[in-house]
Structures are given as structure tokens and as C-alpha cells.
Structure 1
């Protein structure tokens, strides 16, 4: 997955609309389904927890289906890109201890994966205005570049491919 610059204002606007739509859809859908089930199958004890739970579950599945169906729509481009980037970074994070150990030994693939993780994190943090941790990231990036220079490894984010993680 290549890192691309995305329009922050458009991303935030679309993400907020997706979140609001999902929240409203979940509330309306789960209430409508659970109230219909309660009307069709009343419980004399007055406990309708299971009908409410079923309403939430059915609505959640429906929303997930809709999000998946419309993930290729132009409105969702930035939102889906960020979701996929977070997924890719999470795969790297789960292997970070092994990557750092291999990186200290000069493994070029490990150094590249770490470099991609740092660059992707920087992009996400800028989109989310999470600038507090940028200083820590700059320190880690400088350490990574120092190790790469020691082992004569050139790091280019565009060279990253997720398949290199299989060896770690």
C-alpha cells in the first residue's frame, strides 16, 4: 500500500458524515427492529433485553454490509484509504519487536517496514491533528536513519510491500 497525501478537510468531512450516519442508522434501525419484535412477541415479564440485543445485532450487520458495499464509492475514498492504512500499520505493529531486533542486525526489509510504519503513522497523526507525539516519532525516525546508515541501507517508503512481513 502506497502512502499518498489526501485532502485533510475532505477526509474529516466525509469521516464525520460516515460516523454520524452510522450512529443515526444504528439508533433508528435497532429501535425499529427491537420495537417490531417486542410488538410481535411480547414478554409478560417485561424484559425485552434479548429483542433489543437482536435489533442492535441486525442493524450492525446491515451497516457493515452497507459500508462494505459502498467502500468503492468516491465519497468513501479517503475514509477507506485511512481504514486500510491503519490495518497495514497494525500488521507492522504486531511484529514490531521482531522487526526492531532484525533491524539492529541490519536486515533491510525490517528497516524498510519500520520506516513505512513511521511514515504512515506521521500521515495518520497529521490527519487526526495528533501532533503531540510527533516529536517522539522524529526521534525514532532519526534513530532508524542512523541504523540504516550504519548498514548502508537506503530507505524509501515506496519500496515497501506488505509481503516482507511474512519473514518475521
Structure 2
């Protein structure tokens, strides 16, 4: 399995190895536990709210809705707090990577224009975007358009080599996006 990038506290990256099977197992367990907790908390709190505040024959839509909102808040807060636990390491990293790639995607048109002008920051961002996307697609078994990604990455690497630049995805920092 190829190495991938890990965020540290200061949004820098180190090369690490991720185990696809462990990632998938933990992701599935986290999803199932979240769904069960959300259902249990939502139903339990809705039932309690109805018992406490509902009149016979009254509509309970808003009490049920409040129960679901409470469930979402509890599960969301728990996931946020547990995110730094070692068990969540791979899953939390992929969540963060997807967020980072989303930030890049929002500015992709300007980044690609700058990359055509051989601006090192844009080339670094694209290199990181391609490496990150490849990792996510491989981990999620989403390989339908992987060949297109590889072509785009190969073209980028050729452009970098032809220009005689030394660009690496490892040099990516979120601050590079501020230019675009």
C-alpha cells in the first residue's frame, strides 16, 4: 500500500502507511454505532418529550423533530470528541483529507489557470489534490475514474519536469490556497 499524508497539529504532512482493511472495518463500525446511537437517542428523547409535554390527541411532529435534533447533536458531539482517539485515526484522517480536497475543489478553476502559468503554488496544490484523491478512491474502492486521475497526474508531472521545477505534494500547506 502506498504511503499517504497525515496532518499534524499545524497542517503539515508526513508520509505514513494506511491499512485499507483496518480503515474499512473501523469506518463501518463507526457508521453502525452512529446510526444505532442516533436512532436510540432520537427515539428515546422523542418518547420522553411526548410523555412530558404532549396533550392527548395533539400532534407530536415538533417533539419528534426535537428528539431527532437532540440525537444529532449528541452523536455529532461524541464523534467530534472521539475524533482524536487512536481508534479513529484512519477514519478521522480521511474525513480531514476529504475536507481539504473540498477546499481545493472550490478554487480549482483558478488553481488550474495558475498551474498552466507554471506557478509553483498551484502545481503543488494540484499534486496534493491528485495524490489525496487517489488515496481516497483506492480506500473507498471507487476506481471508475482512476485512469483519468492517473492521466491528469502524469500530465502534471510531465509539465513539472519539462519546466525543470521541483514540486512535491508533500510541500502542500493550506496557506497556499489563500493566493487563489
TM > 0.5 fold call:
yes
The one-character-per-residue Cα deviations of 1:15-53 (angstroms, maximum 9, x if unpaired) are 101100110011110000001111111134442110111
Summarize the alignment of residues 91-110 of structure 1 with structure 2, pairs less than 5 Å apart.
Answer: 91-110=103-122
CA RMSD between the two structures:
1.3
Which structure: greater helix fraction? 1
1:6 lines up with 2:18 in the alignment: yes
The one-character-per-residue Cα deviations of 1:84-110 (angstroms, maximum 9, x if unpaired) are 111111111111100000000110110
Deviation at 1:9, TM superposition (A): 0.7
Q: Aligned partners of 1:45, 1:153: CA distance in 2, in Å?
A: 73
Of the three residues 60, 63, 74, the one matched with 2:72 is: 60
Q: Aligned partners of 1:108, 1:102: CA distance in 2, in Å?
A: 9
Residue 50 of structure 2 corresponds to: 38
Summarize the alignment of residues 147-162 of structure 1 with structure 2, pairs less than 5 Å apart.
Answer: 147-162=159-174
Summarize the alignment of residues 13-162 of structure 1 with structure 2, pairs less than 5 Å apart.
Answer: 13-162=25-174
TM-score, normalized by length of structure 2? 0.89
Residue 4 of structure 2 corresponds to: none
Residue 3 of structure 2 corresponds to: none
Which structure: greater strand fraction? 2
Gaps of 5+ in 2: 1-6, 8-12
Q: What SS does the aligned partner of 1:4 have? A: strand
TM-score, normalized by length of structure 1? 0.95
Gaps of 5+ in 1: none
Q: Aligned partners of 1:141, 1:157: CA distance in 2, in Å?
A: 11
